[in-house]
Amino acid sequence: MQSTLNPQGPHARIVANISWVMFSGATVIFLLVMALALYAIYRRPDKRRTPSPTVLIAAGGVALPIVSLSALLGYGLYAMAALRQPAAESAHIEIVGNRWWWDVRYRDTDGTLIATANEIRIPAGKSVTLRLSSKDVIHSFWVPNLAGKMDLIPGRTNHIVLQADRPGVFRGQCAEFCGAQHARMAFHVIAEPQPAYDAWLAHQRTAAQQPRDALALRGRTAFAAHCLACHTVRGIGTAHVPGPDLTHIASRTALGAGTLDNNQENLLAFIAHSQSIKPGSGMPSFAHLEQDTLQAIAAYLGELR
Ligand code: CUA
């Protein structure tokens, strides 16, 4: 469940604790105010004790807010300091926000860049620092179960630290309105045991798989003709206008930044009708292509594990 109150890592736990403390503080104040209101309404006027307005304002309007808000602020600052601690040693993962998808890049120790999109793999049980920036407008990175929110701002780099206690899939969502398809700007964080993560990363380094049959081969040719301008497939070509890297698209769980499940049917639908599925996105609909060409492209992409 995508919820701040269901923390699955130490950073999310800090955020959940802050939420509960703030909620408890607000509840105490609410009950106090309600008690005073009930007292004013139901206590017989001749029995009512009315403090002087000056005392009431000084105590309830000045002293109480200063004490309670300062206490909550102090606690918040203290608790949040731990959220800023960068991970001791971790993968270099860069996230670039785009309208409306997430460019995810892993920088290898030798400097090579491995690009994927809308899916972030991390080793479970390890603290990971993500570098966040934006290509166009302000987006906000939010995986409620693993961390707080952090904005992706054009022209600057922010950081967020997160950790998943155990392996699992955690849904994330852009949390800053960024245009028509803001709601379809989701992603998944997949936490895996270290060996599985290492194997995944090693596989991501490899170039795209060769087509296995005639249909996929046709698909690769059609892909090179129609799609390479925007989508890099390592081993085939590099995009000029970078859209999501599709080198290993079949290994990902979703299409269109969490819009559709990743399967053959949806791949074909997304290629042919992206502008009805995700209107305004950078990807044009390719409904003018012949059905068997679309099928071939979908079959080719379906093999790119
Ligand atoms: Cu990106 Cu909302």
Q: Express each pLDDT in 246-271 by its tens digit.
A: 999 999 999 999 999 999 999 999 99
Q: Is the CB of 177 under 6 A from ligand 1?
A: yes
Contact between 147 and 15 (Cβ < 8 Å): yes
0.95 surpassed by pTM? no
Average pLDDT, integer, range 285-290:
93
**Tokens standing for residue 39:** 């007292």
What was the pLDDT predicted at 50? 79
How far, in Å, is the centroid of ligand 1 from the Cα of 102?
A: 10
What is the number of the ligand 1 atom nearest to the C-alpha of 182? 2
Question: What confidence tier does 45 reach under pLDDT thresholds 50, 70, 90?
Answer: confident
Average pLDDT, integer, range 94-99:
95
Average pLDDT, integer, range 99-112:
86
- Report the chain's mean pLDDT, rounded to a whole number: 92
Helices (H) and strands (E) counted in the chain, each on its own, are 7, 12
Q: Sign (positive/negative) of CA torsion 66, 70, 71, 72? A: positive
Which residues, 6 or more positions from 18, have their beta carbon under 8 angstroms from its beta carbon?
75, 76, 79, 80
What is the DSSP secondary structure assignment for residue 10, as one 8-state letter?
A: H
**Tokens standing for residue 58:** 């000084």
What is the number of the ligand 1 atom nearest to the C-alpha of 152? 1
Contact between 271 and 286 (Cβ < 8 Å): yes
Query: Hey, is 281 helix, strand or coil?
Result: coil
The residue ranking higher by pLDDT, 60 or 277, is: 277
What is the share, in percent, of the chain residues with pLDDT greater than 70?
A: 98
What is the number of the ligand 1 atom nearest to the C-alpha of 97? 1
Statement: residue 133 has pLDDT above 80: yes
Residue nearest to atom 1 of ligand 1 (CA): 139
Question: What confidence tier does 113 reach under pLDDT thresholds 50, 70, 90?
Answer: confident
Q: Express each pLDDT in 159-185 by its tens digit.
A: 999 999 999 999 999 999 999 999 999
Contact between 287 and 231 (Cβ < 8 Å): no
Q: Is the CB of 178 under 6 A from ligand 1?
A: yes
Q: Express each pLDDT in 53-90 by its tens digit.
A: 899 899 988 999 999 899 989 998 998 888 877 776 66
What was the pLDDT predicted at 89? 64
Q: Express each pLDDT in 224-242 by its tens digit.
A: 999 999 999 998 988 887 7
Q: Is the CB of 176 under 6 A from ligand 1?
A: yes
Q: Is the CB of 146 under 6 A from ligand 1?
A: no
What was the pLDDT predicted at 92? 81
